Amino acid sequence: MTSVATSPVRIDQLLAAGHTRSFEFFPPKSDEESATLSATLSDLETLEPSFVSVTYRGGHESRQRTFDLVTHIQRGRLISMAHLICVGHRRAEMRQILENYLACDVVNVMALGGDIPEDPDLVASEFRYALDLVELARDVGEFSIGVAAHPLGHPRSPDRRSDRRHLAEKLRLADFAITQFFFELADWTTLVQELGELDVTKPVLPGIMPVTTLAGVSRMAQMGAAVPAQLVARLETAHAAGGPAAVRAEGVRAASELCEQLLGAGAPGLHFYTLNRSTATREIHESLFGPHGVRRP
């Protein structure tokens, strides 16, 4: 019997078919990190996510690690999405990267602008914004393209109105957006509403990252997503009652509550920032969907 070749699954197709559940990883830098990620992938694969994504910080070494991990995942049972950062790259170089992914049946990419590299050898760039990369990916092939969204506005945006205009421009050409992590339902609903006022209704996947330590409160603020005072108070009360373990449990509980609210408000899916660990993500996922991935009533 002659086998029939099947086309790689696109994330925009998954979103059109229903809710998605996705996990994000970063490529390991050491044997220890590789072992941790391997265990995490094996554990979370049992939850049958819609897709997984792999980040990329820029530079040839990081780019290769991302490529190796994405293509390794794609050869298995999971659908993968590759992050791409265009700042610090030449167009010909980025075109080759995109063509290499297509050759490996990777058709899902996350088009990001990125920060100016610290390495002076990497500063020369033929890109300014993520929109430039979206346009190039559209020219290269049949990609399903995601872009980043910041519910509170991009750190480099002068104001929220201009941030929303730039995001709307990206999303008109891309297929979907994934948000930076946030902690209140209104952050997502307001973002979607403001995009709708600009006649953009593409899916916006909320990014979820639980706060599991008190130290994480300041780290998340440094990453551009301040933890609301109400949640900080919950975590501090938990710490006073039961120490670090209680803080972790309360953080997971708060993230699960946010996920329930988002799904109830019509979010097209949930995207979990795992930090290459499976335990908190699994706990949140199972609180929502049970051990078999079925939404709890």
* pLDDT reported for residue 124: 63
Q: Which residues on neighbouring strands pair with residue 82, listed in sequence order?
A: 54, 109
CA distance readout (Å), 225 to 127, 180, 207, 220, 288:
26, 8, 11, 6, 24
Tokens of 202: 């593409």
Closest CA to 208 of 151, 159, 249, 155: 151
State the average pLDDT over residues 205-231.
91
* Domain-embedded: residue 295: no
* Domain-embedded: residue 5: no
In the chain, what percentage of residues exceed pLDDT 90?
Answer: 70
Between 32 and 176, the more confident residue is 176
Distance CA 217, CA 214 (A): 5
In the chain, what percentage of residues exceed pLDDT 70?
Answer: 92
**pLDDT per position as a tens digit, 39-72:** 999 999 999 999 999 998 666 777 888 999 999 9
Element (H, E) at 250: helix 229-264
Residues 6+ apart with CB under 8 A from 80: 51, 52, 53, 54, 70, 71, 73, 74, 106, 108
Residue 200 has pLDDT above 80, yes or no: yes
Distance CA 234, CA 83 (A): 34
Tokens of 68: 């190796």
Which CATH number goes with the domain that contains 193?
A: 3.20.20.220
Residue 4 has pLDDT above 60, yes or no: no
Residue with tokens 């990369």: 133
Residues 6+ apart with CB under 8 A from 269: 15, 19, 20, 21, 22, 50, 203, 205
Chain-wide mean pLDDT for the chain? 90
* pLDDT reported for residue 81: 97
Give 3-state DSSP helix, strand, coil % of the chain, rounded to 5.
50, 15, 35
* Domain-embedded: residue 4: no
State the average pLDDT over residues 123-127.
70
* Domain-embedded: residue 6: no
Tokens of 191: 């973002």
Residue 2 has pLDDT above 50, yes or no: no
Structural domains counted in the chain: 1
* pLDDT reported for residue 56: 87
* pLDDT reported for residue 30: 85
Residue 297 has pLDDT above 60, yes or no: no
Q: 207: which DSSP letter?
A: E
Q: Which residues on neighbouring strands pair with residue 83, listed in sequence order?
A: 110
**pLDDT per position as a tens digit, 262-295:** 999 999 999 999 999 989 999 999 999 876 555 5
State the average pLDDT over residues 135-151.
96
Tokens of 185: 């339902």
pTM (predicted TM-score):
0.92
* Domain-embedded: residue 221: yes
Residue 190 has pLDDT above 80, yes or no: yes
* pLDDT reported for residue 121: 54
The number of CA neighbours under 13 Å toward the Cβ of 44 is 33
* pLDDT reported for residue 118: 58
**pLDDT per position as a tens digit, 229-247:** 999 999 999 999 999 999 9
State the average pLDDT over residues 121-125.
59
**pLDDT per position as a tens digit, 6-48:** 789 999 999 999 999 999 999 988 889 889 999 999 999 999 9
Between 241 and 128, the more confident residue is 241
**Structural domain range at position 274:** 11-288
Distance CA 281, CA 25 (A): 12
* Domain-embedded: residue 119: yes
- Alpha-carbon torsion angle 74, 292, 295, 273, nearest 10: -40
* pLDDT reported for residue 129: 85
* Domain-embedded: residue 30: yes
H helix count then E strand count, the chain: 10, 8
* pLDDT reported for residue 230: 95
Residues 15 and 145: beta-carbon distance below 8 Å: no
Tokens of 264: 């109830």
* Domain-embedded: residue 154: yes
Catalytic residues: 24
* pLDDT reported for residue 141: 95
